Structure 1
Amino acid sequence: MRLGLHALGIGTGARREVIDAVAVAADDSGFATLWAGEHVVMVDRPTSRYPYADDGRIAVPAVADWLDPMIGLSFAAAATRRIHIATGILLLPEHNPVLLAKQAATLDLMSGGRLTLGVGIGWSEEEFAALGVPFARRGPRAAEYVAAMRTLWRDDVASFDGEFVSFDAVRVNPKPVRDRRIPIVVGGNSDPALRRAATWGDGWYGFNLSDALEAAERIDTLRGLCREVGRDPGELRMAVALRDVDLGDVTALACAGVDELVLVAAPPDDAGAAADWVRSIADRWLPAIASA
Structure 2
Amino acid sequence: MIHVAIISHDHEKLLINSSLGGLLPSQKNQTRLTLWIKDNKPSPDLKAYCSKHQIFYTDDDAGLGFGENNNYLFDLIQRKIGFQANDIFLVMNPDITVTPETVFALTEKMQQSDHAIATLNLYRDQAMSLPDKNIRHFPGMLSIVKMPLVNTFSETYDKDRIAAAAHDTPVEWASGAFLAFKPELYQALGGFDPSYFMYFEDVDICYRARRYHQQAVHYYPDLKAIHTAAHKNRNVFSRHALWFFHSFSKFLLRRYLRLNAVYSGKSARRSQT
The TM tier, using the shorter chain, reads: under 0.3
TM-score (norm 1): 0.26
TM-score (norm 2): 0.28
Is the helix fraction higher in 1 or 2? 1
